[in-house]
Chains A and B, each alone.
Chain A
């Protein structure tokens, strides 16, 4: 528990510094760079909200299913919201970008969706409230063929199921 708390505090510090740096970069660097860290999307263009302050999606690096610090923060918000709304079930949709073979991307999307699901479970949400589906590269949100578009498409999205 203590660990969790200190973890959360460290996280807050990181998050704050991220926000600050994001604000700082916004004025000095082009828009595209401000929306990606490494090749993980950090912008909000495509993000929808399950409730006020509860983003519906998290983003991944190329070929990765590791949750970033920011993703974990988003998923904790989703977990809190799910705890407060115990009648709601969700589907976690896993997606990949268009730069990979179709079958591998289906598996990768499933792996990403499960990474998000596992994190929600860790934060106390019952596994039977969460189902997963992989769309591989079949349902991009951004149809461009460039690194920023691809970063928006490498995502898992939590969607209300009822």
Chain B
């Protein structure tokens, strides 16, 4: 059906300078002082220009790739890409050997240069990262791929630069799966949609004939689990986004919902509702064995595994109201961890393991926050009229969630949009989507 991942990507590392550099970014604090970086347009010769136009209808793929890189670095909030108008050196010359004084003059601390060639329907991209203060090369890489993959090349370069300068893995060569929304509130049409992390290459995976909710990526493959009201039977489904194959998960005599994958991608954990009671179950995707994890007359839902799979955090109203709990993955040792004022929902374990992100409702306001896994150190990152369902970037650095606006009495003025915020509470920004959007889920890095 929909073929997205038909690419092969060859990466050739030709040198990574291990010497200590003078520049680095401290990302444990906020990012109040983003690093000034110059992203020189990747140089492309005249012959490649011609094949670029004939292959992918883009005149200068080199400067397009550098725009992708620039945009990624800027939206991370950790970098301040400088205006190209101020650049003194031509891209091809700078790529061979930058005149560091020229770049220091415009206050750049790092410089990205590169070169693009298109030959025999192959796109070859090389780039270098330069430390302006130390006056030396920090990294050099080359990629060969098909020309239509040029945006991914930009994302991979961004990840390499991010990793080299922050010491942490990047999150740019990733996708977001979400629910696209259209139409009035009382008859909303919802479709599964997938896009690159920066909002490009949107594809719709369902037609909108049935209600779909809460898609989540498998952390290890191109599979997605979600809730569909196909034939008016709300059930958890599994979707292979490469082949388009769908199947219902398990054989439950009632609603299954709130699905998520285990960290190894081999199990789905979800809620099953029967006779007014929701409990948590898992299904092994290999042998199809279903296990009941909680057994309590309250609502138990929104389960999420710890990265080592030893624990599960979930949402329960067994205390009388929605609160966050953790338990061992066999369902034993249930312990409430949220004790602040208000209601707590949608706990999600950070891929780093140390934090749980959540939605909090208090005095008519909704908050996205994080707490340590014992419930201590609660920090609220953002407050709004309505927002929920945080999902972690694969490096545990950024949260994406959705936010709805208040409607007037006629229902006008309603919108649903994706937003992201840094773990520190800085850099809150809207994530562009073609339509209204909700229930975002962040994929793992596509290349490692």
Contact = CB atoms under 8 A, between A and B. Distances in A.
Interface of A: 63, 65, 98-104, 106-108, 110-111, 113-115, 118, 133-135, 138-146, 149
Nearest to A110: B273
Contacts of B213: 102, 106, 138
Given A111-B299, A133-B234, A138-B211, A99 B275 contact: no
A115 B404 CA distance: 30
A100 B386 CA distance: 9
A146 B438 CA distance: 21
Given A99-B361, A101-B388, A143-B186, A134 B234 contact: yes
11 contacts: A100-B361, A101-B315, A103-B302, A104-B345, A106-B257, A106-B273, A107-B273, A110-B276, A113-B276, A138-B213, A143-B411
A118 B277 CA distance: 13
Nearest to B276: A114
B258 A103 contact: yes
A143 B301 CA distance: 26
A99 B364 CA distance: 8
A2 B3 CA distance: 68
B255 A106 contact: yes
Interface of B: 184-186, 188, 211, 213-214, 227, 232, 234, 254-255, 257-258, 271, 273, 275-278, 299, 301-302, 315, 317, 321-322, 345-346, 359, 361, 364, 385-386, 388-389, 404, 406-411, 414, 438-439
A140 B186 contact: yes
Contacts of A115: 276
A24 to B, nearest CB: 26
A32 to B, nearest CB: 10
A144 B407 contact: yes
Contacts of B275: 114
A103 B278 CA distance: 11
Contacts of B271: 103, 107
Contacts of A141: 186
Given A143-B414, A144-B408, A104 B255 contact: no
A113 B411 CA distance: 25
A144 B276 contact: no
A139 B276 contact: no
Contacts of B258: 103, 106
B276 A118 contact: yes
Contacts of B409: 144, 146, 149
A111 B227 CA distance: 18
A65 B315 CA distance: 18
A150 to B, nearest CB: 11
B315 A103 contact: yes
**Closest 4 CB pairs between A and B?**
A143-B411, A114-B276, A101-B345, A143-B185
Given A103-B315, A110-B254, A145-B385, 7 more contacts: A101-B315, A102-B214, A107-B257, A107-B301, A111-B278, A134-B234, A144-B411
